[in-house]
Amino acid sequence: MPLYGETMPISRRRLFLSLAALFAALGGGAAARTLLARYYDGPASDHFDGVRFFDAHSSPLKKPADLLRFFSGRGEKWPERAPSPYSDRPPARVEGKTIRVSHIGHVSVLIQTAGLNVLCDPVWSERASPFTFVGPKRVNDPGIAFEALPPIDLVLVSHCHYDHLDVATLSRLAAAHRPRVITPLGNDAIMRAYDPAIGAEARDWEERVDLGRGFSVTPVATRHWSARSLWDRNKALWASFVIETPGGKIYFVADSGYGEGYYFKTARDRHGPFRLAMLPIGAYEPRWFMRDQHMNPEEAVRALADCGAEFALALHHGTFKLTYEAIDAPREALAVALKTAGVSAERFRTLLPGEVWEIV
């Protein structure tokens, strides 16, 4: 996503970026210092140059002039509120090989299977922003009330953009559930700077984590980037996750451009077959700016074919206004793309917050 996401009137946009610059420049407090910090210190690799991470298969990041051009646009207007008619109260555990997936909103999902409860990119905050008073604001409540969560064993955080890494929610989870948190390199430093109690473990691409009882998690490469401010671009790694369970493998893709489908094909070849892929379909307009970092629905259907998953769940739409398209555009465009490709809508589903899909 772009650094601060939401398409705002120009006066609010200028205020927001000015406050962000002031916040980082002042260096006041742990959160501000984190914006300028070196999150990871390790040996150079084929995707780390000693200071910043990079992706040899992606296009160069947009220039500041492109960012300014993007923020000068307005896009389609979203409603102030778009409440979901659904609200889930999940069971404490789901045993056996059934995979129960509850859509919390945006990219946040609860996966329950074989006695394990996993949260992916959990965001319960009102805004996907470093501030509480400005930035992308959710238009619907989380599909599960925080107090209704079952015991959480594991949390996966894909990268440090504010609509994915929500330190306030992670701190609440640490206090209430003390889950194990797995995230790509460098993101653990951001979490610990906010709350040392967050049990974060940083892993590199293709570094498999054996969880026991037939479960494992492997961060895998994806076409994206990272930042928490204007000064820390790509100082933390980003990833998708392959989650191995007794009921089959799940491919969780929180954010990704499509490119030529390289990473989806690579995931299939190295880690498939997949029972379920979770693929982003929103925050894709305008294409000149978003193409390299976010898929559109047509590309998401191609990604499903590339990774070869049996089923797919659409993510990254309908909760936070980050780009130009209308709130319902991703769902409508996905329906058209599925029909054109001859893929059943039952195979690639969209859920509203609070809706549940049980794959048996």
Q: Is residue 127 part of a domain?
A: yes
CB 114 within 8 A of CB 246: yes
Cα 4 to Cα 13, 45, 351: the distances in Å are 9, 29, 25
Q: What CATH number is associated with residue 227?
A: 3.60.15.10
Q: Is residue 163 part of a domain?
A: yes
**Worst-scoring range by mean pLDDT, 33-47, 132-146, 249-263, 312-326?**
33-47
Task: Report the alpha-carbon distance of residue 97 to residue 123 in Å, rounded.
Answer: 27
Q: Is residue 4 part of a domain?
A: no
**Residue 273 binned pLDDT confidence (cut-offs 50, 70, 90):** very high
Cα 356 to Cα 99, 107, 330: the distances in Å are 10, 14, 19
If one counts the domains in the chain, the total is: 1
Q: Is residue 5 part of a domain?
A: no
Q: Is residue 67 part of a domain?
A: yes
Mean pLDDT of the chain: 91
Rounded (to 5) percent helix, strand, coil in the chain = 25, 20, 55
**Residue 117 binned pLDDT confidence (cut-offs 50, 70, 90):** very high
What is the span of the domain harbouring residue 226?
Answer: 10-359
pTM recorded for the entire structure: 0.91
Q: What is the pLDDT of residues 58-92, one digit of tens each?
A: 888 788 888 888 888 889 999 999 999 999 999 99
Q: Is residue 3 part of a domain?
A: no
Please report the pLDDT score of residue 61 as a whole number: 79
Element counts in the chain: helices (H) and strands (E): 9, 14
What is the pLDDT averaged over residues 271-287? 97
Q: Is residue 162 part of a domain?
A: yes
Q: What is the pLDDT of residues 20-71, one digit of tens each?
A: 444 443 333 444 444 456 899 999 999 999 999 999 988 887 888 888 888 8
What is the pLDDT averaged over residues 294-316? 98
Q: Is residue 2 part of a domain?
A: no
